[in-house]
Chain A
Amino acid sequence: MDTCIEKIRAICADLLAKGEVQKVIGFAEGSIPMASRPIAVTSKDDVEKLVFNATCGLNLANYVSDALPKEGKIAVTAKGCDSRNLVTHMVENQVSRDRLYIIGVPCTGMVDKRKIAALFEDEITDFIEEGDTLTIVSAQKKEVVSKKDMLRHNCRMCTHRNPVVFDVMAAEPVAEQSLDQPFADVDQIAAMDPEARWAHFQELTKNCIRCYACRNACPLCYCPTCFVDESSPQWVGKGQDKTDINTFHFLRAFHCAGRCTDCGACVEACPMGINVRDFTRKLNKDALELFGWEAGLDMEKRPPLDVYSPDDPDDFIK
């Protein structure tokens, strides 16, 4: 995957030199091991700053609307999930296709940084990715592991590694995964009795600090004012009361129904490592099973929650 960065840089340099786009949104090297940061490159002389590797786990569709100039195009590098969120943006009229130049990047998955950190008792001082081999170093030891074994859960469950929409591809498509049990995690929670299930979700968010990193890293959360930030009327308490924390998480998840691409940016961003995908995954499963719907695959189709269908699985609407 790291081999396509030269192609990405060449494409970007060309686009910027010709003035076809005003900026390129991509990833830059981070300042600490295992980090990368979203960046906007506006000059062909700066394309060397761009990187693409297994730490680029955020979703760049999140940056597109704010970065869009009054006129003209911007380019964005897009993994499979980023491209699906770009489609969702277009379907929801947040950005029009002709304003974007999409550089598709086939993806073999992003690493689970917490899983890697857990291999060490001390802090990681170096992280080197070469093909499928990750070399990770701390003051105490060095670990050489396979990237495949360190992938995030959502990447292991991903069946759309290749961009679904693009103007140019930065590499040949990669093989898609097929899964025997795409929702084993959801089924496990669903099998719990109601008390245990409730306890699971209470435990899940017990250390939530309400920083809203999950919401803000999510390309779906573009409301000008989020319901938790409304002050008149104020819908939700601002403190650490469990009811208010629950309200935030439950409503955030429901707002993602039929829209979530399971890109994993929410979990990636959470400073407490809370697997907030436990909320959204169930909705993704429902969208698939009830409506045959996976978000962000088709620019022509309306999402299940904003369209009427005579085949609706629920009787009340017929």
Chain B
Amino acid sequence: MNFITIDKKDWAGGIDRSRKTYRVFGPVQDENGCQIKPLTPDLYPLMDAGVTVMSPKSVLFPQTEKMLTATLDASREDHHIMKPVEKDDTLRVVLGIRPYDARAILLVKLNFDNPDYQDPYWCDAYAATTFVGLGVNRPGPCDFSTSTGCGPFSEEGLDVLMADLDDRYLAKILTEKGETWAGACGFDTTADAAESQALFDILRKEAEKNITASVDTDQLSEKSILDLHEAPFWDDVAFSCINCGTCTYVCPTCWCFDIQDETKHKTAVRFRNWDSCMSPLFTHHASGHNPRESKVQRVRQRFMHKLKYFVDKYDQGIMCVGCGRCVASCPVNIDIREVCTIMNNHESK
């Protein structure tokens, strides 16, 4: 691993140089808070921003994505035949991604890119993307990422991990993609590896000290699915839930989607949209039957998927990276940390 140092005075210039080959994404602030968005040529990432309201998952998995299109014009030979849409798979880079969000992308990858299925939309986007992370020096009160297998300076899933050292960034190049990006920016001032690593270790330890929230997950895989499913606490957990989709949409690891066909004049388009297990429509069968008709069933599903089914299926820990976005954004303060603890400590009778 090699380290480079980036003077903050050179940062914007480097980004501009990289724009020749990369579509640049990063945190920007607007009336609705801070979001990861494509940066137009006049925009630079807000590197000292807080947690973005939405996670960066949309860079690879947009909320609405065009998949296929067909003409309905019967005079055309290929009418009603769905064809791939043109996609922009030029290189893209996400700047200032938080380390836990990079781990989240690896968890999402388990669904979109595995031996059984390779989702071409997600896989192509993933292949085109470089993730340049920024260590979190001051994690907030909702952050519990040290309990979820990552933390404020975790490297997993990143191509570059940077540390903010006031007047400069110290960057650890982790992959070839990262090296290529640094080259495109013209960032080439190498830093001493041993010294830099020691500095990263100090920063990591300091940052981790600021994380006071934690969850216990050690018992989850031992629990019986049916015991948890039938446990008496779900009514209480779900009482305040209003069944909006906020938790699932702000979540960096929620990957569920719905496919819809829309027609306009003589064109048909097949889209995929984020879906939410909080919505009754999510499991509404064509017959009219809904196996998850009640709110309690839907709330249970969300937590069982993240904290039990996923744990059992993939053996990669919980389907949560501890970003705390759902905790911060839930209109009724349902806190996954509390639910996880209840599930982890549940004793069947």
Contacts and interface: CB of A to CB of B under 8 A. Distances in A.
B63 A209 contact: yes
A276 to B, nearest CB: 12
Given A211-B245, A213-B244, A271 B239 contact: no
A247 interface: no
Nearest to A241: B64
B334 interface: yes
Nearest to A212: B244
Which of A122, A206, A212 has most chain B Cβ within 10 Å? A212
Tell me whether chain A's interface is mostly helix, strand or loop, or mixed.
loop
A32 B327 CA distance: 8
B284 interface: yes
Contacts of A40: 239
Contact of A209 (B54, B279, B337): B54
Contacts of B329: 271
Nearest to B242: A216
Interface stretch (B27-35, B101-109, B119-127, B196-204): B27-35
Contacts, number: 122
A122 B138 contact: yes
Tell me whether chain B's interface is mostly helix, strand or loop, or mixed.
loop
A291 B271 CA distance: 45
A141 interface: no
A38 B332 contact: yes
Contact of B33 (A38, A216, A273): A273
B279 A229 contact: yes
Contacts of B337: 31
Contacts of B142: 32, 123
A92 B271 CA distance: 39
Contacts of B281: 229, 231
Nearest to A209: B249
A239 B242 contact: no
Interface string B221-247: 000000000000000000110111110
Nearest to B30: A207
B150 to A, nearest CB: 18
B53 interface: yes
A131 interface: no
A39 B273 CA distance: 33
Contacts of A31: 327, 333, 335, 337-338
Interface string A30-66: 1111011111100000000000000000100011001
Contacts of A38: 239-240, 332
B140 interface: yes
A39 B50 CA distance: 30
Interface in A178-221: 203, 206-207, 209-213, 215-217
Contact of B141 (A32, A67, A229, A240): A32
Interface of B: 30-33, 35, 48, 50-51, 53-54, 62-64, 138, 140-142, 210, 239-240, 242-246, 249-250, 258, 260, 262, 271, 273, 276, 279-281, 284, 295, 327-329, 331-335, 337-338
23 contacts: A32-B141, A32-B327, A32-B328, A37-B332, A37-B334, A38-B332, A63-B239, A121-B48, A121-B50, A122-B50, A123-B140, A207-B33, A209-B54, A209-B246, A211-B246, A212-B279, A229-B281, A237-B262, A240-B273, A241-B64, A269-B244, A272-B53, A274-B32
Interface of A: 30-33, 35-40, 58, 62-63, 66-67, 121-125, 139, 203, 206-207, 209-213, 215-217, 225, 229, 231, 237-241, 268-274
Closest 5 CB pairs of A and B: A123-B140, A239-B64, A269-B331, A213-B244, A207-B32
